[in-house]
Chains A and B, each alone.
Chain A
Amino acid sequence: MIPDTPAGRGDTAHRRFDLTTVVAIALPLVVALLLVVVRPDAPALERTPPTTSALTTSSVVCPSALDGRSGNESTLGVASASGASGTLTLTSGAGASTASVAPGRVADVKGQDAPVVVAGQGDLAPGVVAGISSSKPLTALDCAPVSASQWFTGVGAGPTHASVLELANPNPGPAVADVAVLSDEGPLEVPALRGIAVEGRSHVRLDLGTVVPRTGDLALHVVVERGQLGVAIRDRGEKLTGGTTTEDWLPAQARPSRRNLLLGVQPGSGRHTLTIANDSDGQATATLRLITAGSVFSPAGAKPITVPPHGVARTYLDDLLKSPTAKDAIGVEVDADQAVTASLRSVVDGDLSILTPGRRVFNPTTAVLPGGKKRLVLAGADAVGVATVVARAADGTELLNQRVSLQPDEGASLDLPDRAASVEVTPQRTALRGAVLVQDGGSAVVRLRELVRAGAVPAVAPGRR
């Protein structure tokens, strides 16, 4: 009830007035103080990292052998880095076979005109290694596990430089891939490369020269929408006049990066084409650094390369790699202000070899090598460390066991014995990137990769988003 006469009825009213005034000042302050400390946690999804577990099965997919010149022989070398002995299964469209493996040994199988899935079960599941190589022309490729997304930079679709995309489905169910194409003029809409369906246990080959006839270098982003696919690109160069054909594999790059290490450069004369693709929304500016065994430096006079958004840029490094400064170069580093992909395509003495950035290696890894003169190049260390290199012959005989010291901003190289059929590199205290340059009447590069030794088991919990 509102009092009909205002406050001021003697002492009691006065005191009550005072009390209400005090409360009227104190109460809002207390409420405000309480509200200030009310900070409930926002609803959040818990991020739980996966646990690792022993693999029960794993596989790599090798593309079909190249049909090179006469006398060409394709060989599929398979090995297991698991430390166990047993048989790996080789499955292709033609049927299944097995190859016996033991620690350190490499089993050679004749290459087939169809992709081969090399799988290990049980003890042999971790560390399945396979490489496909041919002698004329010299080509080599480390067979990789399936991947949902990968980049191929510097593919061709023209008369002198054409590439073939091979998609191999290792599973019984169908698979679908989408291929996005970047050109020097921006993204290309290629309906034939959208929703490429590959039936179970079969493969699809697409000649880019037919599908998207176009001069100039392209970059492909292959995304597997459904199922799993082994993806490989065979790159082919032809001289319209001389009729010389040269061919090699174009290895995949896992994802765009601001720092791209192209290891296994052969300095000297020849045609060295650097292709950089930028799928970001902004223009990318790339600079080059040369990697030698002992240093990484920016060559004098090298100009920054600008790559348009969603575009591809091509430069020739002939002059740079011919120059004396590049004499000892083992690799080229492409640094950009946007995440880009890159490849270096070299035609030296009529033989093609292609360098693309490999992934970082944290754990002991093994690569299967073709015959010929070999040189291991290592770079990309993020700390001072060492790498123990063991080269073995096909029968497992140890040919070389050497420690190579590694430092950030330095490369390292080590000549491997010609007989070496496999090389095992164990990084310590640092991660590294590496490749083996093989020269035998031509050249080829085999990249090192982190082997699949354990499966990631995601944390699973009920939840509706």
Chain B
Amino acid sequence: MSQPSVALLVVSHDGSRWLPTVLEGIRSQTVAPTRVVAIDTGSKDESPQLLREALGELHVVKSSTTFPEAVDLGLELLRDDPAGWLWILHDDSTPDPRALEWLLTAAEADPSFDILGPKLREWPSLRRLLELGVTISGTGRRETGLERGEYDQGQHNDVRTVLAVNTAGMLIRREALERLGGFDPQLPMFGNDIDLGWRAARAGMRTMVVPDAVVFHAEAAHRGARRTPLTGRHTHYQERRAALYTLLVNARARALPFQVVRLFFGTLLRMVGFLLVRSVGEALDELAALLNVYVRPGPVLAARRARRALDVADPREVRRLLAPPWLPYRHGLDFVGDVAGALTNQASDVAERRRAAAAERDPASFAARRQAEIEAGDAYDGDAILRDTGVVARFLTNPVALLLAVVVIALLVATRTAFGTVVGGGLSPTPDGAGHWWRLIVESWHPIGQGSEVPAPPYLLPLALLATLLAGNPDLAVTAVLVLAPPVALWGAWRLLRVVGRLLSIKGSPRWLVLWGATSYALVPLVAGAWGDGRLGPVVAAATLPWAAHAALGFADPVADRRWRAGWRSGLLLALIVAFTPVAWLFCVVLAGVVLLAARFLVRGGGMLGDRSVWGPPAVALGVPVVLFAAWWLPALLHGAGHGLLLDAGIPPTPAPSGWGLALGRLPDLGAPWWLGLVLPVLAVVALVPARTRVPVLVCWVVGLVAAAVALVLSLVTFNLGAETSPAATSFLLVLVQGAAVVAIVIGAQGALVGLRGPLRAAAAGLAIVALVVPLGGLAWAVAGDHGALGDAPPADVPAYMLQAAAEGPEHGILVLHGSVAAGVRYSVVRGDGVTLGEDEILALTPEDTGFSTLVQEFVSRPDQHTVDGLAAAGIQYVVQPAPSDPAVSAAIDAASGVTQASAQRRSTRAWQLGTEPSADALQGSTSWLHVALVAVELVGLIAVIVQCAPTVERRRKA
């Protein structure tokens, strides 16, 4: 068989690492090329010598020579050569001995093809597929149609028409290359193969991939293993620029405007994606590539004109070769899925990774033996059986899963009060829209009460975010928080207890033990009475705490980067807890101090603490809430509302449990029967008995000790909120103490279950029955329902028509009077649509306006026209005295001139209207730029922290 004449063109640049193999590959070809032309683009290594020794003929050009220029030079050198085909190889691509033979055979078999490409496999793995022809998606992504790292098992061995093939191993009809004008010089390094293929397709030529021909490719430039003056440091920039250019020059004229807009916004979206995974360099590369192409449209337009001359093929035929339009969206979904999966897996396998790290350090250790067992599949024999069964069957045959479902349903039933509008106890009505909350967050001066500079409480930020996500519906947000908090706590506790169990022993805690612990914990805010009293603080803290603790376990990860991620994630979760129960931060600082002290005494050498990646992550976790809520605590301290840092979310004053209440998990006068709470503390003491697990149980007790000490200090603090005294809020400590008790019991039980024999078995069974009282009793009590002040009717102290008037403007204020002459009169001012969630704290913490108080005092004792005018000037239109109203107060107001009685729904509620027209002049406040700046820090910081929380992308970590 007479072979057509083929000239081989080898382009090399600093390729001495690969060249010996490449030259060997060329030499061993079963069909030798008739001529070999080697071009070296200014290599600084031994490449020129290697090529010269092997091939004899070498042309060295300057290092700025682009790939298209090099190919042009090759064609120039072959001007007098009769070779009909040109075979191109890179210095990092080595052909299989029969590669050229297969390519030529295919070319001969079907002469309608002008460009042929081999199957590209990864070098040095040699097994993984890289490319079998490529195409481009609408967003400019290079599409191979292969999974990442797919092994070549002959699954793609069909000869097929493609848009383009890689230049490494490309066999092209010389005449075709000359007709197309070579490669586009605007694409010096990347993407010129796709452009060439696309142009060829438009010119009616056909490109084919020949899977039998195999070339191994190191992709040195793409992976950044080789840096040339052409790629620079930013290979991503070059690749992206090439993609944008290729799309714009080859798009059909009709589709061009759409493509221009799409690529612009697509780039912005990709930038956000890169920023989210902390790939700032790539994000900037995206932007630079976009600007490079868009700012100078000249080359694009010129290239489009040149390509128009080639057009012969039916555009529909060309389009068929491009990637389908839905492909980018699937990639987007894949990306989101990957990130979510990585997020959930980050801490859960900390136990495995610690074991793996221990095994690596000492292959003879216990950990290494167990690791080997796991890998051999012995340790998880139970799970292995279930692995291949369907989801439904697995669920129905798993009693723990069934029980878990029952618990979740019971929790949802127990929280049924929260469906729809929910208000009462410590929970104020919600405002009309999420915008109200955002306004409270951003404003430095609130026109509520007599005007206040006290910043909005920090929990408004997560609530506002949630409400915004829920179509701007604050009602829905509060319902979601109240309904989902117990199941979320259940889930978090489940995950935490499982990891804790696996940290202690390879098999982890038994599932039913974890279920007991998670259910008991999820019930804490309910049986404590916090849920029923509408106290969002402890409810959200309880839901978030196990997740935060779970994230904090990552501090013990053997990998430094994962420790940092754990730091950011626990910081973010701690911030969420702190937003609702600020005392949590204080506790964590004290706990960190205790841990630091313990580390100093217990860890010999102290070298660990010298490592920034050891102490840094916990420090980050403690710092995140401080930075994120600077817009809250700093202005609060500046405006005399510092005691607000010790208040929980909810209408102040917050109920503070006594030590007894902390131990039993009950807020004062609220919650389930107290004796039900006895079980957890008693079992927590019993958990100290098993010697195997005594140390980890003691760790839980130390947490309890720190909580008790913090509670003791806080119990000495009492502050005034107007006419009321309030203790510091310690409901977080209640949740924490209960949580620590649950963890201690689960650990203790896990220790006790190992080698339990004889009479001890009976004792353990007795304890188990006692322990069941906690979840069963708690659930039964919670499901019975109707335990708290939470309901769906807001208190109607103020007549509706007054609220309507008040909603018209800040000057239509309503002065609400409580109390009596004998015990003292308390006043509050309602503006807008009444006091809504988030405004309670602002009102309670606002320092008393003594001038206004004097005015009110005059008004309730001996009002005259002057007093009435003064109130009107302060923006008061109505006065309301809800039942039980002190007749002495109402009689004094009744006797005043300039005041007329107004009607109220309830006869026992007294109401008046002031005769003087109210004014809003006194309610003007100035904007504090400090606050605005701090809010900006808060929002930017939040995004930055979320970005820092995201798991590090695998590719980057390897690099």
Interface positions of A (Cβ within 8 A of B): 1-4, 6-7, 17, 20-21, 23-24, 27-28, 30-32, 34-50, 53, 55-57, 146, 148-149, 170-175, 195, 224-228, 455-465
- Say yes or no: A34-B907 contact (C-beta < 8 A), given A48-B723, A148-B891, A456-B821: no
* B159 within 8 A of partner (CB): no
Q: Tell me whether B722 and A458 are in contact (CB under 8 A).
A: no
Most B CB within 10 A of own CB, among A32, A41, A47, A457: A41
Which residues on B sit within 8 Å (CB–CB) of A31? 701, 704-705, 708
Knowing A1-B505, A456-B888, the reply to whether A41 touches B725 (Cβ < 8 A) is: yes
Residue of B nearest to A465 (CB): B818
A43 touches B711 (CB 8 A): no
Give Cα A29 to B570, complex, Å.
Answer: 31
List residues of chain B with CB within 8 A of the CB of A32. Answer: 663
Chain B, range 736-783, C-beta contacts under 8 Å to A: 750-751, 754
Q: List 16 A-B contacts (CB under 8 A).
A: A1-B504, A24-B698, A31-B704, A35-B663, A36-B659, A39-B659, A40-B730, A43-B656, A50-B821, A174-B901, A225-B907, A226-B894, A228-B895, A460-B860, A461-B825, A461-B848
Asked whether any CB of chain A lies closer than 8 Å to the CB of B835, the reply is: yes
Please state if A457 and B861 are interface contacts (CB–CB under 8 Å): yes
Query: In the assembly, what is the distance between CA of A24 and CA of B653, in Å?
Result: 37
Rank and list the top 8 A-B pairs by shortest CB-CB distance, nearest first: A463-B826, A148-B887, A35-B659, A38-B659, A43-B653, A462-B722, A461-B723, A463-B723
Q: Which of B348-365 contact A (CB under 8 A)?
A: none
> Given the interface contacts A24-B698, A460-B860, does A465 sit within 8 Å of B826 by beta carbon?
yes
Given contacts A40-B715, A460-B853, contact A45 B694 (CB under 8 A): no
Q: Is the interface of B mostly helix, strand, loop or mixed?
A: mixed
In the assembled complex, B801 has its CB within 8 A of some CB on chain A: no
Additional A-B contact list (17), CB under 8 Å, known A32-B663, A462-B722: A2-B504, A2-B693, A20-B691, A24-B697, A38-B658, A40-B657, A40-B730, A45-B724, A46-B720, A48-B823, A50-B824, A56-B864, A173-B899, A458-B821, A459-B824, A464-B828, A465-B826
Q: Point out the residues of chain B lying under 8 angstroms from A3, CB to CB.
A: 692
Minimum CB–CB distance for A180 against chain B, Å: 14
Q: Is the CB of B826 within 8 A of A37?
A: no
What chain B residues lie within 8 Å of A17 (beta carbons)? Answer: 691
Q: Which residues of B contact A41 (CB under 8 A)?
A: 656, 718, 725, 727
Q: Which residue of A lies closest to B912 (CB)?
A: A173
A27 touches B887 (CB 8 A): no
**In the complex, A146→B695 CA distance in Å?**
75
Q: Which residues of B contact A459 (CB under 8 A)?
A: 824-825, 857
**In the complex, A464 Cα to B827 Cα: how many Å?**
6
Q: Interface size bucket, B side? A: 35 or more
**Complex contacts, A148 vs chain B, CB 8 Å:** 887-888, 890-891
Question: Known: A37-B712, A38-B711. Is A462-B728 also a contact (CB below 8 A)?
Answer: no
**Are B705 and A34 touching (Cβ within 8 A)?**
yes
B848 touches A458 (CB 8 A): no
Q: Are B660 and A35 neighbours in the complex by a CB distance under 8 Å?
A: yes
Which residues of chain A come closer than 8 Å to B653, judged between CB atoms?
43
A149→B714 CA distance, assembly (Å): 46
Q: Interface digits, B629-665 against A, CB 8 Å rule (1 contact, 0 not)?
A: 0000000000000000000000101111111101100
Nearest chain B residue, comparing its CB with the CB of A169: B894
Q: Which residue of A lies closest to B726 (CB)?
A: A43
CA distance A32 to B685 in the complex (A): 11
Decide if B366 touches A23 in the complex (CB within 8 Å): no
**Given known contacts A1-B504, A457-B861, A458-B819, is B659 in contact with A37 (CB within 8 Å)?**
yes
Given contacts A38-B659, A456-B888, contact A171 B819 (CB under 8 A): no
List chain B residues, Cβ under 8 A from A53.
861-862
Please indicate the chain B residues that have their CB under 8 angstroms from the CB of A172 in the complex: 897
Q: For B843, list chain A residues within 8 Å (CB).
A: 462, 464
Q: Separation in Å of the A252 CB from the closest CB of chain B?
A: 14
Q: How far is the CA of A460 from the CA of B910 in the complex (A)?
A: 18
B820 is an interface residue with CB less than 8 A from chain A: yes
Contact residue among A47, A50, A463 (Cβ-Cβ distance under 8 Å from B828):
A463
Q: B702 on the interface (CB 8 Å rule)? A: yes
**In the complex, chain B residues whose CB is within 8 Å of the CB of A460:** 824-827, 853-854, 856-857, 860
Q: How far is the CA of A55 from the CA of B892 in the complex (A)?
A: 12
A464 touches B818 (CB 8 A): yes
B668 in the interface (beta carbon within 8 A): yes
Q: How far is the CA of A40 from the CA of B724 in the complex (A)?
A: 15
Q: Which residue of A lies closest to B705 (CB)?
A: A31
Which residues from A are CB-within-8-Å of B231?
none
Chain B neighbourhood of A57, CB < 8 A = 862
CA distance A31 to B684 in the complex (A): 12
CB <8 Å contact, A461 and B862: no
Contact call B708/A28, Cβ cutoff below 8 A:
no
Contacts of A30 in B (CB 8 A): 705
**Is B730 a contact of A46 with CB atoms below 8 Å?**
no
Q: Which residues from B are CB-within-8-Å of A461?
A: 722-723, 824-827, 848, 853
Q: Which residues in B have their C-beta under 8 angstroms from that of A50?
A: 821-822, 824
Residues of B near A225 (CB, < 8 A) are: 907-908
* Alpha-carbon distance between A355 and B124 when the two chains are bound, in angstroms: 118
Given contacts A35-B660, A38-B659, contact A458 B705 (CB under 8 A): no
A461 to B724, CA, bound (A): 9
Question: Are A44 and B725 in contact, CB atoms less than 8 angstroms apart?
Answer: yes
Residues of A within 8 Å of B662, CB to CB, are 35, 38
- Inter-subunit contact B891/A228 (CB<8 Å): yes
Closest to A37 in B: B712
Hey, which chain B residues are within 8 Å of A39, CB to CB? Answer: 658-659, 715
Report B245-266 residues with CB < 8 Å from chain A CB. Answer: none
Check B722 against A20 for contact (C-beta < 8 Å).
no
Nearest A residue (CB) for B887: A148
Whether, in the assembled complex, B688 has its beta carbon less than 8 Å from a beta carbon of chain A, the answer is: yes
Taking a contact as CB atoms under 8 Å apart, the answer to whether A43 and B695 are in contact is: no
Closest to B722 in A: A462
Query: Is B709's CB within 8 Å of the partner chain A?
Result: yes
The residue that A171 contacts in the complex, of B655, B835, B849, B894, with Cβ under 8 A, is: B894
* Contact of B137 with A by CB under 8 A: no
How far in angstroms is the closest Cβ of chain A from B408? Answer: 31
The answer to whether A462 touches B853 (Cβ under 8 A) is: yes
The answer to whether B659 and A46 touch across the interface, beta carbons within 8 angstroms, is: no
In the assembled complex, the CB of A115 is this many whole angstroms from the nearest CB of chain B, namely 16
Which residues of chain B are within 8 angstroms of A45 by Cβ–Cβ distance?
Answer: 723-724, 819, 823, 826
Minimal beta-carbon separation of B746 from chain A (angstroms):
13
Contact of B724 among A43, A174, A458 (CB under 8 A): A43
Q: Quick one: closest A residue to B725, CB to CB? A: A44
Cross-chain contact of B725 among A1, A4, A23, A43 (Cβ < 8 A): A43
CB-CB under 8 A from B654, the residues of chain A are 43
Minimum distance in angstroms from B529 CB to a CB of chain A: 14
Distance A226 CA – B904 CA, assembled complex (angstroms): 11
Q: Are A456 and B725 in contact (CB under 8 A)?
A: no
List which B852-898 residues lie within 8 A (CB) of chain A.
853-854, 856-857, 860-862, 864, 887-891, 894-895, 897
Cα of A460 to Cα of B660 in the assembled complex, Å: 36
Determine the chain B residues whose CB is within 8 A of the CB of A7 once the complex forms: 691
B161 within 8 A of A: no
Q: How far is the CA of A77 from the CA of B504 in the complex (A)?
A: 96
B856 partner residues in chain A, CB cutoff 8 A = 460
Taking CB atoms, residues of chain A closer than 8 Å to B701 are 24, 27-28, 31
Q: Would you give the 0/1 interface string for B674-716, flagging 1 where the beta carbon is closer than 8 Å to chain A?
A: 0000000000110010011111011001101100110110110
What 0/1 readout, one digit per residue, does chain B (508-536) give for beta carbons within 8 Å of chain A? Answer: 00000000000000000000000000000
CA distance A225 to B709 in the complex (A): 52
How distant is the Cα of A37 from the Cα of B819 in the complex, in angstroms?
33
Cα of A465 to Cα of B825 in the assembled complex, Å: 10
Within 8 Å CB of B835, what residues of A? 464
Query: With a CB–CB cut-off of 8 A, which chain B residues contact A149?
Result: 887
> Once the chains are docked, how many angstroms separate the CA of A464 from the CA of B722?
9
A180 to B663: give the CA distance in the assembly, Å: 51
* Assembled-state Cα–Cα distance A6/B663 (Å): 32
CA of A175 to CA of B900 in the docked complex: distance in angstroms?
Answer: 11
